[in-house]
Chains A and B, each alone.
Chain A
Amino acid sequence: MTDPRLPASFLRPGTSSFSDFLSEAAPDLLPSRRTVPHGQAADLAPHATTIVAATYQGGVVMAGDRRATMGNIIAQRDIEKVFPADEYSCVGIAGTAGLAVEMVRLFQTELEHYEKIEGTTLSMDGKANRLAALIRGNLGLAMQGLAVVPLFAGFDLVSEQGRIFSYDATGGRYEETAFHSVGSGSLFARGALKKLYRPDLSERDAVTVVVQALYDAADDDSATGGPDLTRRIFPVVQVITADGGRRLPEAEVADVADRMMAGRMIRPDGPATASVTGGETP
């Protein structure tokens, strides 16, 4: 007769990490434990593209476009790539969409699990490091063309400011100042952010800046989707402050996007910076 009680791994004290627990109790559930035959697999699954994030006074904002591509095909036009990780942080994904979404689910569970077991949340750096460990586990798949490159942002309750972390496929973790972007359109988005970003932005202005940056990415990168005005599909925007994180309602993002589009009707390249010499304008 088998013992009907909970397996010993459930009752053993020790780890507060969900992925550590899984590696003992159900290793086949962990994405990093899967073996994949050799060869390039990059064309198998859709890729998610551009994510941008920017800090502002009292918070941080992250936005992602809605397009997933498979080669020259648009695989999905309303995919969501920015997710809350916990109450005070969020994660946006670029790279292989399926693996990335699974990794986000594991990361969300990891943070919540720690919080429930320890009775306290991980520090902002602790969360960023856990995500790095999950990405490192995916290195084998990354080398076969199935890389996952997230962007992590959140509000640090200790230092009372928004913070942004970027990653590489090997699990390298880099803290970014002010703003950052990842994905295929990130070069164009970062160019736009450089010109539009100011440290004293309000929340509303910060949202406008990231939506503008995504438009510039979509303008020059075929894999990044711009606002879909006919279907009313707009970027996903997540705002995090000391009060916690929230996804901006569709109507609010639509309003920002509509105003931006009205401006672009007159000036398709977007708003001009106030001064080309770099000095303050009167």
Chain B
Amino acid sequence: MSMPFYVSPEQLMKDRADFARKGIAKGRSVVAVQYADGVLFACENPSRALHKVSEIYDRIAFAAVGRSNEFENLRIAGVRLADMRGYAYDRRDVTARALATAYAQTLGTIFSSGGEKPYEVELFVAEIGDSAEDDQIYRLTYDGQVADAQGYGVMGGAVDTVASFLETRFHEGLTLEEAVQLAVGALGHSDSGDRVIQEADLEVAVLDRTRLQPRKFRRLRPTDLQRMLGERQPTSEEPPAPPDDPPLAPPT
């Protein structure tokens, strides 16, 4: 019979955090970039059906990295929460702050409860206001921590490389074209050189203040991206990146 070993709480939490972080680092990055008319999300995702960026409500969007069955669950919960609040109160009473809090509580409880596997996900929850000053981007980590992203945010695989690329080039008041170029450039950036990501392999969506409809979420199609990105040249020859984690569960 084996003896139960004492494991310190610090070690227990560290192990769980390492486990979650490892799972998240396997996937590719998602970036969120603020521009003059809203917030842009971009990631490398060859699948047309399984989205990493999606609409939650009129002015609120969601992006995720990590295990797709887990973040898909959270996405659906977010849509349900937003629609229920909007139906019970009013459309204006649905806020990203409330949603981010609900996600944080959920992720935090699961992370610190002994019996459950921590979620291997990180999330962006963003909301646009009437002007760029009112835009909010929340970044949530696997343990339920919430951080405010200022101007831009990165999560997923090569966070540091992509973030340093954005840090040197980001400025306020970008146009949509500039924001797309910046985000896609950052996704293709690595320490050994930049590669060109094909338009068909990109998933790009915006919360666009200038849209006339109350629902401000819009996906950019490959033809839109082609027009905005123009001709691109790789700076170095590089083998294609390893394939992303296959989806573990179809969207429900």
Interfacial residues, chain A to chain B (CB-CB below 8 A): 3-6, 10-11, 13-14, 18, 21-22, 25-26, 29, 87, 105-106, 109, 112-113, 116-119
Contact = CB atoms under 8 A, between A and B. Distances in A.
B177 interface: no
Contact of A29 (B79, B81, B84): B84
Contacts of B55: 116
B56 A116 contact: yes
A241 to B, nearest CB: 16
Contacts of B77: 6, 10-11
A25 B81 CA distance: 10
B252 A109 contact: no
A245 to B, nearest CB: 10
A3 B84 contact: no
A13 B83 contact: no
Given A13-B252, A116-B55, A5 B87 contact: no
Given A5-B106, A116-B55, A26 B88 contact: yes
Contacts of B56: 116
Contacts of B81: 6, 10
B164 interface: no
A211 to B, nearest CB: 25
The 7 closest A-B pairs by CB, nearest first: A13-B252, A5-B106, A10-B77, A4-B105, A5-B109, A6-B106, A116-B79
Contacts of B110: 5
Contact of B80 (A10, A29, A119): A10
Contacts of B84: 18, 21-22, 25-26, 29
Given A11-B76, A87-B213, A109-B86, 10 more contacts: A5-B109, A5-B110, A10-B77, A13-B73, A18-B84, A26-B88, A29-B88, A106-B87, A116-B56, A117-B79
Contact of B251 (A3, A25, A112, A119): A119
6 contacts: A5-B110, A10-B81, A87-B213, A113-B80, A117-B76, A118-B251
Interface residues of B, number: 28
Interface of B: 49, 51, 54-56, 73-74, 76-77, 79-81, 83-84, 86-88, 102-103, 105-106, 108-110, 213, 215, 251-252
Contact of B87 (A3, A109, A117, A119): A109
Contacts of A6: 77, 81, 102-103, 105-106
Nearest to A86: B215
Nearest to A30: B87
A18 B83 contact: yes
A224 B109 CA distance: 57
Contacts of A14: 252
A116 B79 CA distance: 7
Contacts of B102: 6
Contacts of A112: 83, 215
Residue with the highest number of chain A CB atoms closer than 10 Å, among B87, B105, B108, B109 = B87
